[in-house]
Structure 1
Amino acid sequence: MDEEEVHIAVGKNFRKEKANILWAAANFPTATIVLVNVHWPSKWMPFMGSKVPYKYANEKEKEMHRSRETETMVRMLSRYKNLCDSREVRAHYLTHDDILAGLVNLVKKLKIKRIVIGSRNMSRQVVLRKCCQIWVVLNGKYMSTSNDHLKHIGITGCVGSSELLACTHELSNRSDGYTTPASDFADEIIGEDGVIQMDGTDQLAMEAEQEKEESNAFAEVEIFPEESADQSDEMHSCRNVTQQAAKLMEEMEKLQRELKDLQDEGHNYEENILSPRKKNVLLKEMTLSKKRCPELQIREHIVQFSELQIGRATNNFSSQNFIGEGGYGPVYKGKLGGVPVAIKLLRARGSQGFPEFQQEVVVLSRIEHPHIVRLIGVCQESCALVYEHLPNGTLKDGLSNGLPWRDRIRILAEQRSALAHLHSSRPHAIIHADMKLANILLDARNVSRLGDFGTARVVHMKPLDEDTVCRRTNPMGTIGYMDPVFFMTGELTTESDVYAFGVVILQVLTGLLDLNIAKQVREAMKMDDLHGLLDASAGSWPELQAERLLRLALRCCHMERKRRPTITSAVDWRSLEILRSMSTGSKSRRWSLGS
């Protein structure tokens, strides 16, 4: 190096690094400022308002994610460079999964004589102290200088391994950057606050905290001026693909809304122009054509009804008895043997078919629980299902009508009990796979029942072996409630139900129905806005216990399945138990899964 240089190791905490850069500019007025950064590739990718492990993505998604990360890092360095407009400032970066090893590589490659570091932990690393003079500056304040490198002048191989130096490559002559080939990432730990921490390297934990604090700091940074044209084109292409994907999602949602409107209009049109006789004939042609479904073995306690019986029960499927409609088909209320019932008909050419009909019959015929909907009978000729009638609609309806918080907590406890019953069944556990507000039904006293078992799956369990509760299948369920790991891997587990239940808890406590509700709740809790987070229409919440339940719900929505609470563990669900006791005025802390 012909001229004097001072190198500054920079991370992602803009406030801290700005102070250190300005300190170096003031104390080395004639030196060229050279910024160096080790870019640690994240193991997580954004997905549905949260994050999912990088390993689950396909190669195209990984490449796009890495390009976005690199672009953000380059913009960050550009922002740092602009802090010293009147000075010559250069920047170098290196991609490596070990920050210490990467920094030592940069020191060796760039022949750095002295470096300013804003981390005590990193400045204490012997392997780094042997390579160059280290100036420790914390938040713009000089702390100390290390000259250990003077004892090792003439010693080669600072890193202690020639492999690290051999794998360092220059990206291009115009990029001012160096990179190492991708290698396996170290195992990471995620704290309750969502901060990623890496085992074995304190600097990684510090970098993750900095990333959380300064996540919005790079939005205004311009692209690194020295980057190559090819790299710039790649980044622009990545942005275009991301924008196109977002537009496609918006279009899909718009088309789904339009389709729903057209279906409603078509239903109303038929109701208005057809005579009662023609409507009944049309409905029978669509839903009661004989031999629609293969023969199914029905258990003895499930009553088998004829087409004539269910037709009479609904007054020939009168529009006055129409309750609603789902993916399976229309639902009508009626009476059979003087008992109010709900009859669900399989719609011709519907999104669901005989497999869902068969699955619901098989699952519900073997379940008996006070908070799971009761299957009374079936009509095999028309693939119709007959349930107990629950007059107060769905939990979603209840929230919109200002359901009191005491009822909400009781319903959550009831549904946790229902899931615990399903997951602990022996020898076949049952995974519901579509837990959501619309599938939780309420009777006249607002006591809840879990319904819609068309997507449920029965999984064989070995005695005392919880880890066997897993089944590979095509992703199914409802976006927003669906476990992202299941969506990307096809591995359905009991933890998938826990994820969906976590979303339900967040919705019940906040009244928010957004798909990215977990992200919204995390951000609100960081801002200490609990009072504004709880649904005021439910009354005066016990805020301390409600906050604990919200935190538990966020654990349910954790991307790492092992971090989610177990639905059958009373210890994990203590916060819900306490709230339930408070809602009933009971002093007892005992709670049965079957309650």
Structure 2
Amino acid sequence: MAVVSLVPTLTQRINLSRLNDIRVSGVMSSSGEIVSELASMAQIIEDKIYVAVGKDVKDSRMTLIWALQNSGGKKICVISILVPAQKIPFMGTLLPVSAVKEEKVREYRETEKLTMENILDEYLQICNQMGVQAEKLYLEKESIEKGILDLISVHGIRKLVMGAASDRRYSRKMTEPKSKKAIYIRDEAPMSCHIWFICNGHLIYTREGYIDQAEAEALTTSPQVRIPPDVGESSISSDPGELSTAQNLLSGPGSCHELDRIARGSPQGSIFSSCYSSPAFDSVSASLPRTITRETMLELDQSKESIASNQYSPPSVLDQNIDDSLCDQLELALVEAEKAKKAALEEAINRGKAEKDFLDAVRRAKALESLYAEEVKQKREIKQELGKEEAALEKMKLERDELMNELRLSLEQKLLLESQIAESDQVVKELEQKIISAVDLLQNFKKERDDLQIECDRALREAEELKIRQRETSSTSIPCFYSEISFLEIKGATKNFDHSLKIGEGGYGSIYKGILRHTEVAIKMLHPHSLQGPSEFQQEVEVLSKVRHPNLVTLIGACPEAWSLVYEFLPNGSLEDRISCKGNSPPLSWQTRIRIAVELCSALIFLHSSKPHIIVHGDVKPANILLDAHFVSKLGDFGICRLLNRNKGSSNDTTLLHHTDPKGTFAYMDPEFLSTGELSPKSDAYSFGIILLRLLTGRSALRLAKEVQNALEKGNLKSLLDPLAGDWPFVQAEQLAHLALRCCEVNRKNRPNLGSEVWRVLEPMKAFCGGSPSVQIGCGEHSQPPPYFICPILLEVMQDPHVAADGFTYEAVALRGWLEGGHNTSPTTNLPLAHTNLIPNRALRSSIQEWLQSHR
């Protein structure tokens, strides 16, 4: 009689209770009946199907539809992973999360969650349209594939449907997942999860799964039942089809049972033996160890056969075949089997506990490993911070030593200078005699100056009358005081803002050197977050395009779309750079310094005399005073200037005030303006006084007025004069020092008026320094006009400049002749003109007229 040994590995998955209803009296005639009975007993627990979808409903729709069509009535759960964005949109750009306020980040995170809920609701609507009630589930994670693995682990997912690749990559030859996420899930997901990979509504690949991870390990590690060596091939079932059917049933999806062997053949020719119907015997059979000796198997067969005969054969047959010894052996075997079953159960429980303890230990180890890594990182950061602090302390020690050394040298220099003062007294007496002789020469210069002033006043009146007439004749024209430049031209002039062309940078933005319309220019790009916003940009454009003075920077054009200002290029940089001899540049002589002071005073007087509004610069400092190739000074940066209404019948500028928030550089700001917020022309006078002291001493602006005041009181002014400027004339230097201190009075009412008192002192010194260099520029090789004064058509200095649609400026007569000749393109770029309107460039015309007057 043959015995079939069926060893289940996971009895909780298959209902074996119906085996108790099989009676020996109904001995099955073939193995097919056993297979049929086992199939009817196997009940696979239906699991919920989880469908992984993405943010794009259009891409994941076919995957969800496939799952709905092939669910077989199982429940559906739509899952997705929300990956928090690392950059958040803010003011038209994307900023890192660390650069945005926490409140804004929380608001954006709530928006992300709401968007995810809406997307999942769209998927649920698709399920409802197909008559399926579904659930939704999502998880926040830094990566999609890791989030799906976490969902599989936390929710015990056993059936998963997900995309294999983008639908656009689908082809009929596709047999493997293509996306990195799908490949990662296929390789890393637990073996207990059965995964279908879908692309464009087609099943591409299936990764078989087991009931759970422990069962998968049991299938790969459990030993097979050994067949006794004396049992031949003839004892195995002769019907391989039936045997295969049984094996497939027991090892199919949802079950991990295996049909180990068909151990013995029957001498009567029957294929399988009948099974003992006792539940105890069934449980013993189910818990038998996989390695069974030949003697035990023979004894069990004989015992089962004899018991079956005793219970179901006629009494006469039972009396003849009962063997007491076999019954005893069977009872012992049953007891042993029961003990073995209990031991196996205990071992399984212990093994489960051990596996759980092992997993807990692994999790704790990972947590400890993470904590250790974090601690190591914190220690490393602390060590780096300590290293930085030690380096900073070392640097402070070096700086302290250097300061002490400088102090020692200064004391030695002070003693040396004091000894030289006594020697200089004799020189002073000699210089006084020379000054007396120079007074006569100054008087002659003054007479010539008066004559020139009369002629200049006459010329100014004529120019003013001419401007009035021009305004009357062009009152119907479109007002435009500057040339508008496109952003493309700005990029081309700076070679797409090449860093090597950057010549300056500050809180306002960056300054680039460039070539624009064949002219060397300086381009100031205002930073969007700088203190100078759109209103300050527009104010500087309007001021510089309406006023013109030899000592104010020339505005060539502007680009409103990029907040860019285009000035004439001044190669000698700022007065701040020249006082500090930046780049090892030669120091300014005392003659040049006095001349710069005269020019600056002239420019401020011009601004304070402007009509109908007085212009107060508000930020006069050496960094905003630029020098051309011949060290002629030009005041710039009118971004925070203020226009004051002139009070009728009042000549006292102290009554002209403007209340505003204090802006500018602290060392040069009017103290009364800082305390009250009242800006007046006397605020510019204070800044002028500080600059005058810096020209005299070459020292820092902080506490400079106090140092000069102490030196004058002690009669020690020479010790403060900058020796790099040369041998200062002491009388003029002392006169300038007193004038500068008056300008630096804390109370603005005590400061002198620039137009009357200060100019009366500075004007004679202009002749003493060698005259105005603006006249010298017109001599020799320096008489060439700036390139932007030249008409591109006539190649001559323009008399009546007008701006065409291409943005270039031409002589009006030449441009009209070009258009009347049938041309509709630009004379410079050869591109079609958008229109033929001409706009007068009054700012450029004023500059040309001033240049022509100075070169007559």
TM-score band by shorter chain is: 0.3 to 0.5
- Structure having the higher helix fraction is 2
Q: Which has the higher contact order (CA 8 A, sep 6+)?
A: 1
Question: Based on CA coordinates, which of the two structures has the bigger radius of gyration?
Answer: 2
Q: Normalising to structure 2: TM-score of the pair?
A: 0.33
Name the structure with the higher strand share: 1
